[in-house]
């Protein structure tokens, strides 16, 4: 997996509903009934919403990992 430069931090907005804060974390997930093996979906999260978004995905068994936005790669998303 090759890493690509992360976009400007100012351009990364939290995915939580109604939140416009800067994202610092990436919640990486996959729904195995919808997505092929190797597919990785990403929700961006600010420090305040990372637990909420991670919990939502974890309850469904879809969570792959939580990483810093600076660790996102070309294969993510």
DSSP string, the chain: --B-PPPPGGG-B--STT--SBP-EEEEE--TTTS-TT--EEEEE-TTTHHHHHHHHHHTT-EEEEEEGGG-BTT--
19-75 pLDDT, tens digit each: 999 999 999 999 988 888 888 999 999 999 999 999 999 999 999 999 999 988 765
User: What is the value of pTM for the model shown?
Assistant: 0.79
């Amino acid at each position: 997996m090759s890493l690509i430069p992360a976009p400007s931090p100012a351009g990364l907005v939290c995915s939580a509903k109604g939140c416009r804060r800067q994202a610092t974390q990436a919640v990486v997930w996959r729904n195995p009934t919808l997505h092929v093996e190797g597919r990785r979906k990403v929700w961006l999260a600010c420090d305040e919403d990372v637990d909420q978004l991670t919990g939502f995905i974890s309850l469904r068994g879809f969570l792959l990992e939580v990483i810093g936005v600076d660790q996102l790669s070309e294969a993510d998303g």
